[in-house]
């Protein structure tokens, strides 16, 4: 499976085309819209999310509620576009609009955003040409594609959840029974945190940052249960699934690090406290006595729950901007102020969950068959039984 996305933040809309989704998977607009709505929420978002409704239109690849095996094309309209049509240059310009366009031309790059590097690389004197596509508005379509993947996983009893472990240095206890408990409690929290006391402190930290014209980042954790043994492969570097997942997470706007299992903590511990002992019993088949490696050994899943952490840096656009240089005058100025979120960690958690879901669904289709969902169901049931008594 693969997908592309297209669309500018303030253009008419966003598109994705997903190729390789097996035929006969049950899929509705509601499946996708529910996921899009989750991405729009979360404490700390700016005014834009009050403007957008993020409702998907399925343009192809689904008939009578089932995938056909054809490419699935999805679109989402940008409701904000009506306010930006002249600036975006989609409509013919009138004289009085030129001023508006000039005022929206960006020549003072924001530290931490794509503005200056993209402008130099593509030779854009108006850095809006970079901003429009580097905006995390694009993650709407990554979540749309991920929601199709999540539907495939759910139909195979594989459950993906996400929660927030840290916002601006406020750390949460990762205390939950199983992934279903995690999902229920995280989704009931404004900041997607299962630790309600820490969640309240996170909200205070976000309010504080906003009041100071500043921004904060954090850590999210994706947990996946029900994963069959052997997704990915040890045989070649580009088939190692932990590597693919790390790439997917690092490609999310503002994500600066990934950990699998205990992650960087492994550097401080001896092997006896890192590797997970292997056991077998009738009920569970092969399993590990602990799960410090987060469900991966040798680039493959080992049947234990996957645990992947992603680190998000603070949002670059600051209402009290940092120093920058105007590319026309070369003088020092404050960076430009764009409307912005002060913390998008709870929303980005949903993006992280969905990019991981897509890579997992791709690994499933790769291992268990390509074209028909019913065949994948049969093959995975057979594999699960075989692995248990191997």
Ligand X SMILES: Cc1cc2nc3c(=O)[nH]c(=O)nc-3n(C[C@H](O)[C@H](O)[C@H](O)COP(=O)(O)O)c2cc1C
The least CB distance from residue 59 to ligand EPS, in Å, is: 20
User: In this chain, which of 7, 25, 48, 72 binds ligand EPS, going by CB under 6 A?
Assistant: 48
Residue 292 labeled ligand binder: no
Closest to 218 (Cα-Cα) out of 318, 306, 349: 349
- Our CB check for ligand X shows the closer of 9 and 75 to be 9
Q: Please list, in sequence order, all residues whose beta carbon lies within 8 angstroms of the beta carbon of residue 231, skipping any fewer than 6 positions away.
A: 241, 300, 301, 360, 363, 364, 367
Do 236 and 365 form a contact (C-beta atoms < 8 A)? Answer: no
Within 244-283, the residues that bind ligand EPS by CB under 6 A are 253
The footprint of ligand EPS on residues 58-117 (CB under 6 A) is none
Cβ count within 10 A of residue 236? 8
Q: Are 9 and 137 in contact (CB under 8 A)?
A: yes
Going by the DSSP 8-state scheme, the letter that residue 372 receives in this structure is B
Site string (7-46) toward ligand X, x via CB under 6 A:
---------------------------------------x
E strand or H helix that includes residue 300? strand 300-301
Asked if residues 324 and 333 have their Cβ atoms less than 8 Å apart, the reply is yes
Instruction: Give φ, ψ of 6 to 5 degrees.
Output: -145, 155
Contact with ligand X (CB under 6 A) among 136, 167, 222, 229: 136
- Residue closest to 135 by CA, chosen among 317, 327, 357: 317
285 binds, among ligand X, ligand EPS, none (CB under 5 to 8 A by kind): none
CA atoms of 239 and 51, how far apart (whole Å): 41
3-state secondary structure of 4: strand
Site for ligand X in 115-134 (CB under 6 A): 134
For ligand EPS, the closer CB: 241 or 350:
350
Considering the rule CB under 6 A, would residue 354 count as an interface residue with ligand X? no
Residue 344 C-beta: closest distance to ligand X, Å: 3
Query: Taking a C-beta distance cutoff of 8 angstroms, is the pair 71, 18 a contact?
Result: yes
Closer of 318 and 367 to ligand EPS (Cβ) = 318
- Identify the residue among 301, 340, 354, 377 touching ligand X (CB under 6 A): 340
Q: 168 in the Ramachandran plot: left (φ > 0), alpha (ψ -120 to 50) or beta? A: left
Per CB under 6 A, 253 contacts ligand X:
yes
Would you say 233 is a known binding-site residue?
Answer: no
Binding residues: 39, 45, 133-135, 253-254, 298, 313-317, 339
Residues comprising the binding site for FMN? Answer: 133-135, 253-254, 298, 313-317, 339
The residues binding ligand EPS (CB under 6 A) are: 9, 46, 48, 135-137, 140, 253, 338-341
Residues lying near ligand X in the complex (CB under 6 A) are found at 46, 113-114, 134-136, 139, 252-254, 315-317, 340-341, 344, 347-348, 351
């Amino acid at each position: 499976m693969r997908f592309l996305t297209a669309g500018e933040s303030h253009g008419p809309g966003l598109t994705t085309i997903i190729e390789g989704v097996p035929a006969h998977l049950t899929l509705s607009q509601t499946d996708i819209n529910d996921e899009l709505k989750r991405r729009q929420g979360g404490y700390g978002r700016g005014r834009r999310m009050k403007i957008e409704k993020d409702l998907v239109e399925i343009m192809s690849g689904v008939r009578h509620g089932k995938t056909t095996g054809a490419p699935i094309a999805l679109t989402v309209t940008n409701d904000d576009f009506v306010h930006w049509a002249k600036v975006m240059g989609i409509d013919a310009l009138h004289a009085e609009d030129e001023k508006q366009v000039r005022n929206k031309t960006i020549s003072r790059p924001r530290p931490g955003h794509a503005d200056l590097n993209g402008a130099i690389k593509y030779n854009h004197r108006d850095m809006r040409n970079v901003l429009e596509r580097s905006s995390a508005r694009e993650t709407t379509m990554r979540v749309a594609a991920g929601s199709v993947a999540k539907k495939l996983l759910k139909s195979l009893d594989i459950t993906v959840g996400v929660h927030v472990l840290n916002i601006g240095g406020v750390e949460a206890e990762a205390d939950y029974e199983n992934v279903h408990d995690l999902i229920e409690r995280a989704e009931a929290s404004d900041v997607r945190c299962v630790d309600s006391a820490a969640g309240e402190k996170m909200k205070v930290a976000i309010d504080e940052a906003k009041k100071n014209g500043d921004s904060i980042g954090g850590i999210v954790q994706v947990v996946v249960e029900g994963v069959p043994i052997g997704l990915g492969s040890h045989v070649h570097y580009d088939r190692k699934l932990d590597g693919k997942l790390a790439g997917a997470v690092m490609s999310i706007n503002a994500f600066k690090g990934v950990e699998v299992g205990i992650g960087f903590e492994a550097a401080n511990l001896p092997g006896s406290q890192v590797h997970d002992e292997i056991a077998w019993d009738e009920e569970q088949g092969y399993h590990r006595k602990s799960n410090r490696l987060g469900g991966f050994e040798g680039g493959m899943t080992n049947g234990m729950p996957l645990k992947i952490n992603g680190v998000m840096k603070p949002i670059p656009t600051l209402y009290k901007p940092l120093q920058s240089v105007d590319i026309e005058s070369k003088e020092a100025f404050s960076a430009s102020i764009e409307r912005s979120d002060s913390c998008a960690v709870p929303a980005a958690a949903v993006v992280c969950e969905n990019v991981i879901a897509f890579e997992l669904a791709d690994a499933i289709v790769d291992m268990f068959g390509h074209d028909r969902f019913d065949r994948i169901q049969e093959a995975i049931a057979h594999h699960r039984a075989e692995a248990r008594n191997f």
